[in-house]
Structure 1
Amino acid sequence: MSDAALDFADSRRALLGFTGRLVGFTLLATLMFIWLGPVLLVVLTSVKSNNDFLAGPFALPTHLTFEPYLKVWFALGFGPLMANSFLYATAGSALAVILALVPAFTLSRLDVPGKKVIFGIILTGLMLPQQTVIIPLYDTLRSLNLLDTRLGLIVVHAAYGMPAQILILRGFMTTIPRDIEKAAYLEGASDLQVFWRVILPLSIPGILVGFTLNFIAIWKEFVFGLVLLNSEANFPVTVGMLKLNSDRYMSVFNLPAAGLVIAQIPIVILFILTYRRISEGNFAGATKG
């Protein structure tokens, strides 16, 4: 093959490679814009005056203002709402993890008759929409005098989140090498001691993953808080956001936007703080044994 033909082939490959990279970059940029566009629009709206927004909803702000944040936080009482959401998410996630630890250990490490059937029954909890259980939950909480209480909502979140925690923890515990627990049994350890001293410490990354995912799910939850709570003092931030959608604020756009931004800040902070540990936990759970 002549030098000219070789140069042409190299140029063709380089052109095809450049075209492929350009198409890939364009597609990636488009997807990022579709995903980030609404987020950026909400953030920009939250730092505009209402007149500035009405003059150009998609334009950059002529001047920044943080008055919507101050008004949402102080005048509309977002502080207690955030505190309630933090309580529900933290306590509900912790209780869900605690309740899931023993079942996950039993289903992953012990030879229990029919454990596959039991595990399948537990997983049906992941397939039930909230709307199908809200009436039984309402009647149960009312009979226990837990309706419109913080404790009642925490218990509901823990029970609803427990199947997902069992799924996560069982999958993680299954990957722990059995040689470790066999050595403990040879030393005379009981099942409880193996669970407490061997499996539980090694499952901390899995526990962190489960807790974080459940925390985010509870923080974003809306239906349970709306139906099972009546007192505004007990509302989570997702239900409290409804006050920003009342007729009083129909023509005000920066306040709901500021409320949305404030409500997402804890989730973003939690993700930043735990992302590395969660990634390490997922990797460890995928490679152990």
Structure 2
Amino acid sequence: MSDSLLFHPTPDVVYGFPHASLLARVDSPYQRIEVWETRQLGRLFTLDGRPMTSTGDEFIYHECMVHPAALAHPAPKAALVLGGGDGGAARQLLAHPGIERIVVAELDEQVVRLTREYLPDVHGGAFDDARVELVIGDAAHYVAAAADAQSMQFDLIVFDVTPPDSPAAGLYTTAFYGQLKRVMSPTAAVSIHLGSPYFHAGRIAGLLDDLRRAFAVVRNMSTFIPLYGSLWMMATASDTLDPAALTADDVTARLAARRIDALKHYSAATHAGLFAASPSASGKLGQFLKPAR
């Protein structure tokens, strides 16, 4: 039986997919998880009615969330994925041959179970790789314990969690960024998704203000993601690394050196464009951004 799958990024906006079929629904202790089949983007899953990822376009989001920061780092060995229960970020990180350990700290084991079963193209078997460690539980608790134990430092951190008005709210704070810095190596970088400048401008500006209070180098990225119905903004944050400073030649050389050649969206040719916000998107944010001190 088919139905219309509709999303409401704001009270005044609606978009979606007609003739969608619901394949699975689970109410976990944290959220409602649904898996859908659509004609446009294949299989996708939602959390509490929000679109998360689809087999048809997941590579856009996951490649941009991983490779700009990973290539800016000279030799990333350890990565932490906050959330990321669908395995897509881990799959992209595994493309870097120097990676020795990836910790995926996912709150909800039902997300992992359902996406492993219904969206195998997204994770690509990442959780079966010996370098990937899946930790089920609150990512904030994992980071706090790792910081106290001084057991691990990470070169890359991928913020692959739900938006701030969700169970992940406590992760989008300067206090948590301070905790993160305790488990980051001196040349580490964070990748974080922010939202749509057309739907969430005020929220994005607040997130950027907090990131700039916590990190010395914060760079915006943006690209269109069909599942999210809009241009989507992300950012990298670090005290030392600046992915925006990489030239096309730099990206070409580093992709070649690491033998990464099967990407579908991110490339040397598109790298600079990710960091070049359009005037209209910048204008949406401008009214909310605090003036530089």
Q: TM-score, normalised by structure 1?
A: 0.25
Higher relative contact order (CA 8 A, sep 6+): 1
Larger radius of gyration: 1
Bigger strand fraction: 2
